[in-house]
């Protein structure tokens, strides 16, 4: 399905919000990598976020929703980094 882009204010806000939502986990990932410790972090939480993001990514691809796809991809990457960090540290 084709990507749907609109120029309404709410669509622009959604696009910005998708980026903001997508980077929300990165400060946590950076803190874990920098400190070398994932003490107190739950692997299950990040696996749930990753699974949820994969489902949203598939939905965004099906519906052609670029903003949702961006947030999903960024969240998949961040939750993957955090899941691996919990296993390593």
pLDDT at 79: 97
Which residue did the predictor score with more confidence, 71 or 5?
Answer: 71
pTM assigned to the model: 0.86
Q: What does the DSSP assignment read for 1-40?
A: -PPP---SHHHHHHHHHHHHHHTTTHHHHHHHHHHT--TT
Structure tokens at 84: 């691996």
For 9-88, CATH number out of 1.20.1280.290, 3.40.50.261, 3.40.50.300, 3.30.1330.10 equals 1.20.1280.290
Structure token pair of residue 87: 């296993």
Q: Which tokens in the block code for residue 53?
A: 């993001």
The band of 3, judged by pLDDT with boundaries at 50, 70 and 90, is low
DSSP letter, residue 64: T
Sequence-ordered list of residues with C-beta below 8 angstroms from that of 34, at least 6 positions apart, any chain: none
Average pLDDT over residues 27-38: 95
Q: What are phi and psi of 42, to 5 degrees?
A: -100, 120
19 vs 87: which has the higher pLDDT: 87
pLDDT of residue 55: 97
Percent of all residues in the chain with a pLDDT value above 90, rounded to a whole number: 72
């Amino acid at each position: 399905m084709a990507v749907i882009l609109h120029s309404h204010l709410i669509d622009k806000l959604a696009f910005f919000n998708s980026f903001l939502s997508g980077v929300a986990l990165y400060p946590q990932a950076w803190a874990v990598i920098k400190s070398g410790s994932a003490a107190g972090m739950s692997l299950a939480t990040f696996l749930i976020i990753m699974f949820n993001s994969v489902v949203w990514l598939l939905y965004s691809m099906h519906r052609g929703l670029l903003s949702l796809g961006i947030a999903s991809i960024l969240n998949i990457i961040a939750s993957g980094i955090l899941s691996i960090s919990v296993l390593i540290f």
